[in-house]
Amino acid sequence: MKTSLSSFRCLLLVTALLLVVTVPEPAEAQRAVRADTLYTMTGNAPIVDATVVIEEETIEAVGPASEVTIPSGAEVHEASVVTPGLIDPRGTVGLSGIDNVPADQDQLDTSEPMQPALRAIDAYNPREELVSFVRTLGITTVHTGHAPGALISGQTATFSTSGETVEEALRDSLTTAAFTIGPSAQARFESPGTRAKGIAMLRQKLSDAQAAMDAEEPSTDLGQAVLRDVLRGDVPALVTAHRAHDIQAALRLQEEFGFEMILDGAAEAYLVADEISAANVPVILHPTMARPSGTTQNAAFTTAATLHEAGGPVAIQSGWEPYVPKTRVVLYEAAIAAANGLPRRAALASVTRTAAEILDLEDVGTIASGQRADLVLFDGDPLEYTTHACTVLNGGQVVSDECK
């Protein structure tokens, strides 16, 4: 009897082990988002009473609740308004830190006026408090890197605001090469001392790279390699210029060498909006509420609206701040632009779809089937001051769930 009972227990144990081994693990739980109003930013009207179904990192289905079925067992989140994850199209978050001390300020090297070989990816800190700060406010993608203040300050890169390591957060290791035209490129260096000298130095650097390309000369010069990529059209030049005549100088340089250019800052762009549009140059505009001083002293709240009316694409950035907390929030800047003439849908696009298009980011900026599941769930109109970002999804994962 004891032997029989012992054998029976062994049989039960073996059966249980077999069940553990053979039963497949359940797939990662699906998520669904219900929204009173959903801004897909695909060019279509907002969807009222909408549903978004998410499978792992990707949006599987989106549409009116009457047409989209929520899978059984899916984790459901509800909100008044849902938008794509916000994109900061130009900043220094992750290179500039919240403490504003030398140890956490890697956004600008002032040892030389031209350093195209410097890579943002080598300085980006995904654990920086500023990254988590903007993430809680709905920003899921940041285009960040070397700040204005040198003729060529370095390379920029694009990151998700989620991820514990650079590799996990990285979206694009070389998004642009950052140039600066105007007095801010002269203040920190013995040379250039004037605008003309600055443009001459840039022209010489680009001419050298062009000549080496034409001669098919091999090069181990890392900086020249980046400039060759710019001249080939593989990497855009992100040119910071605020004064109208500096913007015109940038347009002449772009026409001369034929590179792809994104105009950055552009405080006086309203004076040359038609020229910018005619050149088919997109603008990543300074923060709407930027302090008007120095080269930005003629900044206007209405510039985004003026550029939009001229027909060119315009995104709105956080920029670089010389004081704590070292960053602005692009949604607030877009809201002020909306209050000063920029259509509300265009204002929201300036930090979602249009920002993604300017930076050539294909899978973010809109809510559509197959896109990355970056979403922000708000308790009201995103462009209203009293509204909060209550849930943020980045790659389908909840990365913030407190109303901020």
Residue-wise pLDDT for 364-388, tens only, equals 999 999 999 999 999 999 999 999 9
Selected residue with higher pLDDT from 40 and 322: 40
pLDDT of residue 358: 98
Residue 255 identity: E
pLDDT of residue 13: 47
Collapsing DSSP states into helix, strand and coil, what is residue 76? Answer: strand
The CATH number of the domain covering residues in 31-83+372-400: 2.30.40.10
Homologous superfamily, domain 86-358 = Metal-dependent hydrolases (3.20.20.140)
Instruction: Give the pLDDT confidence of 126-176 residue by residue, as tens digits.
Output: 999 999 999 999 999 999 999 999 999 999 999 999 999 999 999 999 999
Selected residue with higher pLDDT from 320 and 199: 199
The pLDDT-based confidence of 100 (bands split at 50, 70, 90) is: confident
Buried b (16+ CB within 10 A) or exposed e, 317-326: bbbbbeeeeb
Instruction: Give the pLDDT confidence of 203-256 residue by residue, as tens digits.
Output: 999 999 999 999 998 889 999 999 999 999 999 999 999 999 999 999 999 999
- Annotated domain spans of the chain: 31-83+372-400, 86-358
What is the reported pTM? 0.92
Are 31-83+372-400 and 86-358 equal in CATH topology? no
| 143 neighbors 88 (Cβ within 8 angstroms) | yes
Question: 175 is written with which tokens?
Answer: 């998004």
Closest CA to 276 of 300, 309, 298: 309
pLDDT of residue 324: 72
The pLDDT-based confidence of 14 (bands split at 50, 70, 90) is: very low
Measured from the Cβ of residue 137, the count of other Cβ atoms closer than 10 Å reads 18
| Angle at CA of residue 113, ends 109 and 116, nearest 5° | 75
Closest CA to 372 of 101, 55, 78, 49: 55
Instruction: Give the pLDDT confidence of 65-83 residue by residue, as tens digits.
Output: 999 999 999 999 999 999 9
| 391 neighbors 77 (Cβ within 8 angstroms) | yes
User: Residue 116 pLDDT more than 70?
Assistant: yes
Provide CB contacts within 8 A for 223, sequence distance 6+.
Answer: 114, 115, 116, 117, 152
| 147 neighbors 92 (Cβ within 8 angstroms) | yes
| 130 neighbors 96 (Cβ within 8 angstroms) | yes
Instruction: Give the pLDDT confidence of 253-280 residue by residue, as tens digits.
Output: 999 999 999 999 999 999 999 999 999 9
Q: Which residue has the tokens 């062994």?
A: 10
The pLDDT-based confidence of 49 (bands split at 50, 70, 90) is: very high
Distance CA 374, CA 213 (A): 40
